[in-house]
Amino acid sequence: ILGFSTPPGRLSMMAFILNALTCALGLLYFIRRGKQCLDFTVTVHFFHLLGCWVYNSRFPSALTWWLVHIVCTALMAAIGEYLCMRIELREIPLNSAPKSSV
């Protein structure tokens, strides 16, 4: 069903891309480590590949399927790592405790 020529194909590809963006936000809230984003992204897409393989009873061989998933993997990893690195590189406040009068 994935393809550039039909409206359902374009809609499916946009759904995969939006899913990659929301999963990047999931990496930010659940993983919170920039170095681990690529590992979790590849793991999620690997399990998706296995699920598609079992569901269809054959290995995915369509070029558009592979292209969409490679783009979504790269997009999810890059955006997730960018967001996590922004959180990791925040300044640590040093004057957070109230002063006591002695």
Domain extents in the chain? 34-85
pLDDT digits (tens, 9 = 90+) for 21-70: 999 999 989 988 888 999 999 999 999 999 999 999 999 998 988 999 99
Helices then strands, each counted (H, E), the chain: 3, 0
All residues at 6 or more sequence positions from 1 whose CB lies less than 8 Å from its CB, including other chains:
8, 9, 12
Alpha-carbon distance of 68 to 14, in angstroms, equals: 10
Q: Return the pLDDT at 97.
A: 63
94 vs 36, more confident: 36
- Tell me which of 27 and 2 has the higher pLDDT: 27
Predicted pLDDT of residue 90: 81
Q: Is 90 helix (H, G, I), strand (E, B) or coil?
A: coil
CA pair distance 24, 7, nearest whole angstrom: 26
Determine the pLDDT at residue 102. 62
